Amino acid sequence: MHEHDEHARAAPKIGIVLGSGAAWGAAHVGVLQTLEDAGIRISVIVGASSGALIGAGYAAGMSAGELAERLQELRWSSFADWHPSRRWTLFDSSPLHRALAETGRPLDIEDLDRAFGVLAFDIRKRQAVLLRSGSLATALRASIAIPGVLPPIRVNGGILVDGSLGDRDAVRAATDLGADRVIAVRLHSEPGPDASVTVRLLDTISGARLARSRERASSVLQPDVLIRPDTQGMSRWTARDVPRLIASGQVAAEAALPIIHDMVSTFSARD
């Protein structure tokens, strides 16, 4: 066996989970930039809500630097149009299809450069759903669909909404996609703020309580490394603090690098 083949076999397939957090998701870019600069190769990505948007760009082959530039240019109109006449929602998320088409990147999840999964939540079955194939735009629209703000999306017979409700299933989703070791990036204590908004709205609409993931915490698979960028005092719903959020992600990831390098070397030493 050639030396590079032995290295490829010994190195773990690293997955990263990018959690929800609306505009705080910019911190994910800082984390990815630091890992990139440190030579940490990410093979599997799972994203929820804003984490899915960032993860999609990275899985499609964009560098962290390109993502940072794109974030500075993005406007709300890139994802949604004001549409108060729609039932239950204020905005229409269909512009996301157009925005993705204009990038010239793959439009189906299975065609992306890296293994990628999008987390959403099926309000009929009351459970998290991992979208790992099919239309990327449709999957992302489902994952960012906060009821009352953006419309639920129908996929394979399910009615899917905000992926933040499935955050606790993200690490298991990454292992299902082939990750040997998983790094998770969380932008707030769970349940997240956007998850809380979704739960309250769904409770109001359906008149029933969701079977929340915290009620089955014992079955939650924990990440090998947890990174928590500091988002305190930064805007969650506007792009005002994007540069600060990216920097915060870099700082948090840099602090975690010794643990990540140890994780990699320990895995490789098993053989």
Q: Identify the three-state secondary structure at position 79.
A: coil
Give Cα 126 distance to the centre of its chain. Answer: 20
**In angstroms, rounded to a whole number, what is the distance separating the alpha carbons of residues 249 and 37?**
13
Token digits of residue 70: 């794109």
Q: Please, what is the Cα angle at 222 between 219 and 225, to 5 degrees?
A: 180
In angstroms, the CA 107 to CA 123 distance is 25
Helix, coil or strand: residue 217: helix
Question: In the chain, where does DSSP find H-type helix?
Answer: 3-10, 26-37, 50-59, 64-73, 95-103, 136-143, 170-176, 193-206, 242-268
Measured CA to CA, the distance from residue 22 to residue 237 in angstroms comes to 6
Rounded CA gap, 160 and 163, in Å? 8
Active site residue 241: no
49 is catalytic: yes
Mode of pairing for the β-strands spanning 14-18 and 181-185: parallel
| Active-site pick, 50, 93, 143, 162 | 162
Specify whether the CB–CB gap between 231 and 21 falls below 8 A: yes
Q: How far is CA 18 from the centre of its chain?
A: 4
β-strand 42-48 against 14-18: which pairing, if any? parallel
Q: Which of 49, 93, 143, 213 is catalytic?
A: 49
Which residues form the catalytic set? 49, 162
